[in-house]
Amino acid sequence: MRRVIHAPAGMPTGHLTSQALVSVEGTGGLLRLAAVVVVCTGLAALINVRGGLGHARDDLVAAGRATLQLALVGLVIAAVLRSWALTSAFLLVMFGVASLTAGRRLAASGRWWVAGLPVLAGAAPVVAGLLASGLVPLRPIAVVPIAGILIGNAMTATTLAGRRALDALQNRAGEYDAALSIGLLDRDAALLVARDDAALALVPGLDQTRTVGLVTLPGAFVGMLLGGASPLQAAAVQLVVLVALLLVQSVAVLVTVELVARGLIARSPARA
* 112: confidence class by pLDDT, cuts 50, 70, 90: confident
Q: What is the C-alpha to C-alpha distance for residues 266 and 103, in angstroms, rounded to an integer? A: 10
Mean pLDDT of the chain: 85
Q: What is the C-alpha to C-alpha distance for residues 235 and 225, in angstroms, rounded to an integer? A: 9
pLDDT at residue 181, as a whole number: 92
Q: pLDDT tens digits, residue range 177-224?
A: 999 999 899 999 999 999 999 999 999 999 989 998 888 777 777 777
pLDDT at 268 over 80: no
Q: What is the DSSP letter of 136?
A: S
Q: pLDDT tens digits, residue range 257-266?
A: 999 999 888 8
Please return the burial class of 6, using the count of CB atoms within 10 Å of its CB with bins 0-12, 13-18 and 19+. exposed
Q: Are 264 and 114 in contact (CB under 8 A)?
A: yes
User: Strand, coil or helix: what is 202?
Assistant: helix
Q: Which are the contacts of 222, defined by CB distance < 8 A and separation ≥ 6?
A: 21, 234
What global pTM score does this model have? 0.79
Q: What is the C-alpha to C-alpha distance for residues 44 and 219, in angstroms, rounded to an integer? A: 22
pLDDT higher for 97 or 24?
97
pLDDT at residue 123, as a whole number: 96
* 108: confidence class by pLDDT, cuts 50, 70, 90: low
User: Strand, coil or helix: what is 40?
Assistant: helix
* 11: confidence class by pLDDT, cuts 50, 70, 90: very low
Mean pLDDT of the 149-171 span = 94
Mean pLDDT of the 217-245 span = 82
Q: Are 85 and 142 in contact (CB under 8 A)?
A: no
pLDDT at 17 over 50: no
pLDDT at 168 over 90: yes
pLDDT higher for 70 or 3?
70
pLDDT at residue 110, as a whole number: 56
pLDDT at residue 12, as a whole number: 40
Q: pLDDT tens digits, residue range 32-86?
A: 888 999 999 999 999 999 999 888 999 999 999 999 988 888 888 888 888 899 9
Please name which of 222, 220, 216, 215 lies closest in space to residue 239, comparing C-alpha atoms.
220
pLDDT at 19 over 60: no
pLDDT at residue 4, as a whole number: 39
10: left (phi over 0), alpha (psi -120 to 50) or beta: left
CATH class entry, domain 83-272: mainly alpha
Q: Where in the chain is the domain with CATH 1.20.1640?
A: 83-272
User: Strand, coil or helix: what is 16?
Assistant: strand
